[in-house]
């Protein structure tokens, strides 16, 4: 295969979803690469994914393995694009044959954000009133919040960020739970009313980081993409992705994580919760950062032995009955 970085081909085609956030993220990657490789032309090609088209059904109802990535992956396999930029939390842990996760960028704040209606601007999540309508499309957030705040009312919310914000501001919701990183990347960081502590809501695997996927045999492109990889974020996210892979859960299974690196030591905390929030299994492991994926697998096995597998089996059985 002729490398996309060889002298005979100086244009690299970057695949992106059409959403505002996806385009902001993709153009950031393009600009960072352009700084390092001024002689190469980078072009952005946009595609609509299944997740962008189905906006009237809860994500948990339609399954989400590859929901925001499949069309981009087909584009790479068919050589219509050379690499794709994903929110890493949307990228399945098992990639199609022939594709590889080439680089992971420096993580933004991975926390979940509380975004409130104007009338609750003096409140924090602990002081919102009983019955407050909280909007989220994530089972992970839903399960953990139900565990901590069973007195809230939870309601699904879909659509792009501006659509969700308009629904909040119109009074359909008292608050939304969104990602701090997404809001900040879109210049809406002022709407982050509270970054929710990890003792209330552990974040999604890969949340806040970007994953760059390309053809596995394009070694020169992979080498080029390493220019924007962040080693600490990579180790943290590889541990998280291994944890999720062993548990075989998509993002629409209530699995949350938190990672930290101090020196050469990586600490990974993980949680599996039932959708109703009544059962919650969590544990923590620490070890050498270079063994990130082994640590993720170790934590998954530990949680399985503590009852996580039973919870996951029930969720998958329920999903099967609904489909």
Active-site residue (options: 64, 90, 174, 218): 90
291 among known catalytic residues: no
The beta strand positions in the chain, using DSSP E, are 11-17, 41-47, 83-87, 99-104, 112-116, 133-135, 153-155, 175-179, 194-195, 210-215, 255-262, 265-273, 280-288
Report the 10 Å Cβ neighbour count for 124: 12
What is the C-alpha to C-alpha distance for residues 176 and 54, in angstroms, rounded to an integer?
A: 20
Nearest-Å Rg of the Cα atoms of the chain is: 20
280: CB partners within 8 A, 6+ apart: 143, 144, 147, 271, 272, 273, 274
Query: Would you say 250 and 123 are in contact if contact means Cβ atoms under 8 Å apart?
Result: no
Query: Would you say 256 and 247 are in contact if contact means Cβ atoms under 8 Å apart?
Result: no
Angle between the N-to-C axes of helices 20-36 and 161-169, in degrees from 0 to 180, rounded to the nearest 10: 140
Known catalytic residues? 90
């Amino acid at each position: 295969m002729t490398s996309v970085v060889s002298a005979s081909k100086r244009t690299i085609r970057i695949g992106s979803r059409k959403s505002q956030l996806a385009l902001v993220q993709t153009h950031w990657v393009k600009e960072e690469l352009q700084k390092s490789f001024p002689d190469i032309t980078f072009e952005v090609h946009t595609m609509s994914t299944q997740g962008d088209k189905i906006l009237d059904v809860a994500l948990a109802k339609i399954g989400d393995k590859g929901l925001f990535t499949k069309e981009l992956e087909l584009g790479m396999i068919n050589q219509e694009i050379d690499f794709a930029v994903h929110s890493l939390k949307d990228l399945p842990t098992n990639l199609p044959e022939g594709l590889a996760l080439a680089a992971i960028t420096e993580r933004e704040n991975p926390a979940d954000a509380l975004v409130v209606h104007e009338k609750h601007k003096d409140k924090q999540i602990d002081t919102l009133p009983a019955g407050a309508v909280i909007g989220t499309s994530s089972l992970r957030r839903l399960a953990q919040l139900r565990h901590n705040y069973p007195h809230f009312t939870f309601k699904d919310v879909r659509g792009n960020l501006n659509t969700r914000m308009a629904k909040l501001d119109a009074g359909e919701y008292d608050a939304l739970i969104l990602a701090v990183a997404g809001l900040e990347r879109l210049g809406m960081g002022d709407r982050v009313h509270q970054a929710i502590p990890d003792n209330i809501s552990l974040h999604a695997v890969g949340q806040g980081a970007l994953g760059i996927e390309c053809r596995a045999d394009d070694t020169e492109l992979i080498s080029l993409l390493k220019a924007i990889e962040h080693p600490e974020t990579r180790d943290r996210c590889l541990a998280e992705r291994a944890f999720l892979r062993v548990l075989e859960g998509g993002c629409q299974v209530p699995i949350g994580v938190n990672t930290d690196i101090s020196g050469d030591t990586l600490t990974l905390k993980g949680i599996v919760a039932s959708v109703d929030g009544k059962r919650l299994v969590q544990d923590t492991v620490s070890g050498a950062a270079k063994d990130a994926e082994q640590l993720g697998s170790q934590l998954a096995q530990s949680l399985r032995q503590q009852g996580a597998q039973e919870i996951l089996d029930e969720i998958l059985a329920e999903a099967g009955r609904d489909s």
